Amino acid sequence: MITINTEKGLVKVESWEDVESLPGFVKNLNPTNQKLDAIIGRYIFKEKINCGLSNCHTPHAKGFIVKTIDGASTNIGKDCGKTYFGVDFETLSNKFDRDITESENRDKLWSFSFKIDEIQDAIHNLRCSEYGANWIYKKSRYLVTLGADCPNEIVKQILSMGKNRSSGLFKPREATDFEIEALSNSQNRQISKPHFIEEKIADISGLDALYPENDLKNILVIDLEENFKTFISKDIDQLSFEDLKYWSKWIGTVETSLQKANDSIQAGRNLLTQSNLKPFLTLLTKNEDKLIFRRFLEGLTNQT
């Protein structure tokens, strides 16, 4: 890849012949008594190109195209640049690299800006479709908020399963005489009665919808929608180097965030079905709580 600074700004050219046809270009420049005027290009290639200085000619895959005050231009690597043109070369090559980064980031933001409508439609669909993100977020809050619409025993259990990232729903029950005997034998000590064991009663799917990194409000509203609002209000042509860097990095995360939101919605749909959450009923002892939770289940889908 070759980037050349022209009157029209930085342009990319494909072939090395374009460089050799630049006015004043020489393949064999004697650096003695030459002074650097400007850096006019940069290149990165797979195949190496010989340094244009007459006393060097080391092959480089990466280098700069420089112009001297006498009007001659040639290609050199970073080391020759520093050796023959000193601090000026370092300052100018750093600036040239920075200008290229700036211009590439600006181009990236411009091409991204043409896709904004499409992405915003996609976000709207993810949020507002039937059993979409808005529905999932609202329903799932009840499962993780103490004192809201679900009995606290269930909320505590779900929070603990989420914290341990474990899908198994366990309930304590009194061990049978036979189990106590087996346990006493295996542990070589007398287990006294009553003894409780944790029994797995179900595997709950979709709990990952409740993990903090899959939080649909964070992904779709706080990250995507808010950043889109800010991004749209910016004039890309006026953005500073730092802002261009920030936004280029952010647009690089948009695709992944959408995928994450999709996965979280899928998990949320698996979680919020009557059959998936029904086993929690067995944790409840009070009839009043059972009634409340049944009512909550009725508001979910009944897919299996």
Instruction: Mark 193-227 as b/e (b = at least 16 C-beta within 10 Å).
Output: eeeeeeeeebebbbbbbbeeebbbebbbbebbeeb
Helix (H) or strand (E) holding 126: helix 116-128
* E runs forming strands in the chain: 2-6, 9-13, 36-50, 59-68, 73-76, 168-174, 196-203
Q: CB-wise, 80 or 158, nearer to Zn ion? A: 80
To the nearest 10 degrees (0 to 180), the angle between helices 241-271 and 116-128 is 30
State the amino acid at position 255 in one-letter form.
Answer: E
Q: How far is the CB of 41 from Zn ion (least distance, A)?
A: 16
Q: CB-wise, 81 or 268, nearer to Zn ion? A: 81
The interface region with Zn ion, picked from 8-16, 73-81, 234-242, 275-283 by CB under 5 A, is 73-81
Candidates 61, 41, 42; CA nearest to 51 is 61
Secondary structure of residue 300 in the 3-state scheme: coil
One-letter-per-residue 3-state SS of 72-86:
CEEEECHHHHHHHHH
Q: CB-wise, 76 or 207, nearer to Zn ion? A: 76
The interface region with Zn ion, picked from 13-21, 49-57, 153-161, 191-199 by CB under 5 A, is 49-57
Measure Cα distances from 137 to 126, 160, 191, 211, 229 in Å.
Answer: 12, 19, 46, 12, 22
The interface region with Zn ion, picked from 72-80, 118-126, 220-228, 290-298 by CB under 5 A, is 72-80
Q: CB-wise, 83 or 275, nearer to Zn ion? A: 83
Regarding 56 and contact with Zn ion (CB under 5 A), the answer is yes
Regarding 265 and contact with Zn ion (CB under 5 A), the answer is no
Touching Zn ion, residues 111-140 (CB under 5 A): none
Q: Which two three-digit tokens encode residue 190?
A: 């007398």
Say if CB 149 and CB 215 are below 8 A apart: no
- Residues 168-187, mask of contacts with Zn ion (x by CB under 5 A): --------------------
Which residue in the set 51, 133, 207, 220 belongs to the binding site for Zn ion (CB under 5 A)?
A: 51
Q: How far apart are CA 21 and CA 33, in angstroms?
A: 24
Say if CB 49 and CB 16 are below 8 A apart: yes
Peptide bond into 279 cis (omega under 30): no
The interface region with Zn ion, picked from 29-37, 40-48, 54-62, 82-90 by CB under 5 A, is 54-62
Q: How far is the CB of 212 from Zn ion (least distance, A)?
A: 54
Q: CB-wise, 58 or 94, nearer to Zn ion? A: 58
Q: Which residue has the tokens 């001659």?
A: 72
Q: How far is the CB of 215 from Zn ion (least distance, A)?
A: 55
Q: How far is the CB of 48 from Zn ion (least distance, A)?
A: 12
Q: CB-wise, 59 or 172, nearer to Zn ion? A: 59
Regarding 80 and contact with Zn ion (CB under 5 A), the answer is yes
Regarding 29 and contact with Zn ion (CB under 5 A), the answer is no
Q: CB-wise, 53 or 126, nearer to Zn ion? A: 53
Residue 107: count of CB within 10 angstroms of its CB = 14
Number of residues that bind Zn ion (CB under 5 A): 5
Q: How far is the CB of 126 from Zn ion (least distance, A)?
A: 55
Q: How far is the CB of 27 from Zn ion (least distance, A)?
A: 12
Q: CB-wise, 20 or 198, nearer to Zn ion? A: 20
Q: Which residues bind Zn ion (CB under 5 A)?
A: 51, 53, 56, 58, 80
